Chain A
Amino acid sequence: MNLLFKTAARNILRNARRSLMTGSAVAAGALAMMLFGGFVSYIFAGLETINVQRVGHVSVFRTGYFLFGSGNPAAYGIGDYKRVMDLIAQDPKLKPLINVVTPTQSLVGIAGNFSGGNEASKTFLGVGIIPSARDRMRMWDERATGQTHPADGRLADGDEQRGLVGTGLARILGLCGPLHIAQCPTPPAQADNATPAARRDDVVSLAQLDAAPATAQKKDAAPRLELLAATVGGAPNVVSFAVAGAEPQGVRELDDNYIAMHLGLAQQLVYGRGEHKVTGIVLQLHRSEDVPLVRARLGEIIAANHLDLEVRDFRELSPFYVQVVAMFGSIFVFISLVMGVIVLFAVVNTMTMNVMERTNEIGTIRAMGVRRRGVRMQFILEGALIGAIGATLGAILALAIGAAVNHAGLTWMPPGNSSPAPFRVDVWGHPLLIGGTWVVLTLVAMSAALIPANRAARLSVVDALRHV
């Protein structure tokens, strides 16, 4: 084996230029696969972080809500949700795994801005949240992507009137000026007021009836929206909502419809003076890998307490995340296949030339008593060595380039992101990517050598010895 290895290594050096070119092809393949793999891994980590910060890892809903509830969130409310939250938060198996447990209320309705000469209204998708829980969730960064958010001082647990809107909705409702949103056009002056003044005044009056005490409103200089929604009983309900700020939502459809409000305000709007429920209980874990464990445990708790609830994880709640992961995964596979084919042909070409040039040598060692299998092994080992050296070189280059890119401080806008994220190529953090690429390319090179190696092994000894 030692002689076999020594001979293989020296034969590679014997045709140094040819081996260098072939090794470079393997290194280029390894470099491309590792850099793209590192980039994709970082995208996956970034998307996972964004989604986990937004919707947590796992959500508990009333059975059927996931499939049918968005049309009528109020009908799928979880009553006595505080008891359910306690069951989850105090469970000895779940407790060490959970970072945040918080209720959430989804709702749909119409938002109107009838102040300061505005006459705009728009349907909205609302979510009621606990501000402090939202702040904690937005600090989650298990993958060390650097995409954390400082605590949002615009919202407070004690102030139910304040909330945030998407920048698109702010633009549509004429809030760009009051909210001082950069690069946000104001609507052109309306020649004809489409909303009858009487109806507009009715909505404002209704909102003021349900709003917080007047003293609190006067102190708040934030622009206000009137939110109209149907209660559980089907009656219209209106609340006044102080817009503390606008945040881009990445996806235009969401940006043009998004309102995040205090859970209490959302409940007031949906349930009025009835029992305040929630549509979901969100769990954010310390580690994503615990999702299956937590799902299983939640299932046990639900069954043990005979609760009419179901559990969904963030992959189910964010199909966009799954689609992006699948798309980049497919691109990675495609690039890997292309690189594999390039390496395959480069090694086949080199090893075929080696076999031709060493035909007489093959005849000599066969005459001396080397079996066909020994000849085959010799060339396969040479192919594998070229692959291994090239892949090692590629890995070193990928690590160096990855480190340089990460230190360059580049940013980019990931799909679905609302703000630029650091552009990183995370090669070092993925030993499986490095090792997997190395093994695959070495195996490809070894397989590529198989064809010329078999040809060498099948050579007639006499013909090989006659070869000049």
Chain B
Amino acid sequence: MSPAAAPRPAPQPVHEGAAVRLRDAAKTYRNGAVEVPALRGISLDIPYHRFSMVIGASGSGKSTLLNLIGCIDAPTGGSVEVCGEKVARLDDDGLADFRAKNIGFIFQTFSLIPVLSAYENVEYPLVLVGTPEAERRRRTTQLLEAVGLAEHAQRRPNELSGGQRQRVAIARALVKAPQVVLADEPTANLDSATGQSIIELMRRVQAESRTTFVFATHDPQLMSQADEIFVIRDGTLVEQRHGRSGA
């Protein structure tokens, strides 16, 4: 089944307000006695159901910003609120559970589990949240069909091309119907044609599922698809502009 004819992921319920809200969020790394500020007090709101981009040069702090939004790092100042949850209130297990339920990740290096097949990689997040087996099977199959990899379901990551691996990663990020999907340079390791097809795929599934996508990128192809763009420079938000949706 081609991706174009694939079944649609279940759409998110419509939410009002901001999926992500940062207020004076700062992150300073300590290297011995030296303090290195990565984010210098950023405040921003990322709306629900949008294809948002955080752009900036290497070292500008966009990956750090995504880490804070993804609840895998804690700010050294300010506050981070994701899907209405003040993440500072959660302990480590609480954060893990929150991520398992609400946040999907797409990594630059795909980061699939090498000993699991494409099907098992996609199924993995559903196991974490305790989804019943029949439901897991239905949703995993649906997502693999949506990304056009139903025929490769039993292949291990090392038997797939880079583009196919990233499709598996997209399916894995979306299978649990998270409120927010974070993608850090998702096309950086792909050739331009493959990257373009991956962008189109993400755009399509985002439109169908109405999931909130947040990217960190400096890929012009990807930026051209943005609804919202946040420009980061030296750990500071220097510009916020609307993208192609014109909202």
Report which A residues bind B (CB closer than 8 A). Answer: 3, 6-7, 10-11, 13-14, 360-361, 363-373, 461-462, 465
A-contacting residues, B68-113, CB 8 Å: 70, 72-73, 92-93, 96-101, 103, 105, 107, 109, 111, 113
Chain B residues whose CB sits within 8 angstroms of the CB of A6 once the complex forms: 116, 120
The CA-CA distance from A369 to B73 in the complex, in Å, is 13
Given A3-B124, A367-B105, A368-B128, do A361 and B96 touch, yes or no (CB 8 Å)?
no
Whether A368 and B124, one on each chain, are in contact in the complex, defined by CB atoms closer than 8 angstroms, is: yes
Most chain A CB atoms below 10 A, which of B113, B114, B120: B113
Given A10-B116, A462-B73, do A369 and B111 touch, yes or no (CB 8 Å)?
no
The CA-CA distance from A152 to B218 in the complex, in Å, is 100
Name B125's contact: one of A11, A369, A371, A372 (CB within 8 Å).
A369
The minimal Cβ–Cβ distance linking A374 to chain B, given in whole angstroms, is 8
Whether B124 and A367, one on each chain, are in contact in the complex, defined by CB atoms closer than 8 angstroms, is: no
| Nearest 4 interchain pairs by C-beta | A369-B100, A10-B115, A461-B72, A364-B111
Given A368-B124, A371-B96, do A360 and B73 touch, yes or no (CB 8 Å)?
no
A-contacting residues, B146-200, CB 8 Å: 172
Given A461-B73, A462-B73, A465-B107, do A364 and B93 touch, yes or no (CB 8 Å)?
no
Whether A14 and B115, one on each chain, are in contact in the complex, defined by CB atoms closer than 8 angstroms, is: yes
The minimal Cβ–Cβ distance linking B159 to chain A, given in whole angstroms, is 14
The CA-CA distance from A366 to B105 in the complex, in Å, is 11
Whether A360 and B96, one on each chain, are in contact in the complex, defined by CB atoms closer than 8 angstroms, is: no
Chain A residues whose CB sits within 8 angstroms of the CB of B73 once the complex forms: 461-462
Interface flag for B129 (CB, 8 Å)? yes
Whether A360 and B111, one on each chain, are in contact in the complex, defined by CB atoms closer than 8 angstroms, is: yes
Name A369's contact: one of B99, B107, B120 (CB within 8 Å).
B99
Chain A residues whose CB sits within 8 angstroms of the CB of B72 once the complex forms: 366-367, 461-462, 465
Given A360-B109, A462-B67, do A7 and B116 touch, yes or no (CB 8 Å)?
yes
Chain B residues whose CB sits within 8 angstroms of the CB of A371 once the complex forms: 92-93, 96-97
The minimal Cβ–Cβ distance linking A136 to chain B, given in whole angstroms, is 65
Residue tally, chain B, CB below 8 Å to A: 29
Chain A residues whose CB sits within 8 angstroms of the CB of B111 once the complex forms: 360-361, 363-364, 465
Name B129's contact: one of A365, A366, A369 (CB within 8 Å).
A369
Whether B93 and A368, one on each chain, are in contact in the complex, defined by CB atoms closer than 8 angstroms, is: no
Whether A3 and B120, one on each chain, are in contact in the complex, defined by CB atoms closer than 8 angstroms, is: yes
Question: Total A-B pairs in contact (CB under 8 Å)?
Answer: 69
Interface flag for B127 (CB, 8 Å)? yes
The chain B residue sitting closest to A373, CB to CB, is B93
The CA-CA distance from A41 to B170 in the complex, in Å, is 61
The minimal Cβ–Cβ distance linking A175 to chain B, given in whole angstroms, is 78
The CA-CA distance from A461 to B67 in the complex, in Å, is 9
The minimal Cβ–Cβ distance linking A171 to chain B, given in whole angstroms, is 73
Whether B129 and A7, one on each chain, are in contact in the complex, defined by CB atoms closer than 8 angstroms, is: no
Most chain B CB atoms below 10 A, which of A6, A360, A364, A366: A364
Whether B115 and A7, one on each chain, are in contact in the complex, defined by CB atoms closer than 8 angstroms, is: yes
The CA-CA distance from A14 to B98 in the complex, in Å, is 31
Whether A14 and B114, one on each chain, are in contact in the complex, defined by CB atoms closer than 8 angstroms, is: yes
The CA-CA distance from A373 to B92 in the complex, in Å, is 11
Whether A372 and B97, one on each chain, are in contact in the complex, defined by CB atoms closer than 8 angstroms, is: no
The CA-CA distance from A366 to B111 in the complex, in Å, is 12
Could you jot down 11 A-B contacts, CB within 8 Å? A3-B123, A14-B115, A360-B109, A360-B111, A364-B105, A366-B72, A368-B100, A369-B101, A369-B103, A372-B93, A465-B111
The chain A residue sitting closest to B29, CB to CB, is A462
Known pairs A366-B96, A368-B172, A370-B100; list 14 more (Cβ under 8 Å).
A11-B115, A360-B109, A361-B111, A361-B113, A368-B124, A369-B98, A369-B100, A369-B103, A369-B129, A370-B96, A371-B93, A372-B92, A372-B93, A465-B111
Chain B residues whose CB sits within 8 angstroms of the CB of A11 once the complex forms: 115
The CA-CA distance from A366 to B98 in the complex, in Å, is 11
Chain B residues whose CB sits within 8 angstroms of the CB of A367 once the complex forms: 70, 72, 99, 105
Whether A369 and B128, one on each chain, are in contact in the complex, defined by CB atoms closer than 8 angstroms, is: yes
The minimal Cβ–Cβ distance linking A191 to chain B, given in whole angstroms, is 90
Chain A residues whose CB sits within 8 angstroms of the CB of B93 once the complex forms: 371-373
Most chain A CB atoms below 10 A, which of B97, B98, B100, B172: B100
The chain B residue sitting closest to A364, CB to CB, is B111
The chain A residue sitting closest to B96, CB to CB, is A371
Whether A370 and B128, one on each chain, are in contact in the complex, defined by CB atoms closer than 8 angstroms, is: yes
Whether B109 and A7, one on each chain, are in contact in the complex, defined by CB atoms closer than 8 angstroms, is: no
The chain B residue sitting closest to A12, CB to CB, is B115
Whether A364 and B92, one on each chain, are in contact in the complex, defined by CB atoms closer than 8 angstroms, is: no
Chain A residues whose CB sits within 8 angstroms of the CB of B114 once the complex forms: 14, 361
The CA-CA distance from A10 to B116 in the complex, in Å, is 8
The chain A residue sitting closest to B72, CB to CB, is A461
The minimal Cβ–Cβ distance linking B23 to chain A, given in whole angstroms, is 21
The CA-CA distance from A95 to B67 in the complex, in Å, is 82
The minimal Cβ–Cβ distance linking B77 to chain A, given in whole angstroms, is 17
The chain B residue sitting closest to A462, CB to CB, is B73
Name A3's contact: one of B92, B100, B109, B127 (CB within 8 Å).
B127
The CA-CA distance from A395 to B31 in the complex, in Å, is 52
The chain A residue sitting closest to B101, CB to CB, is A369
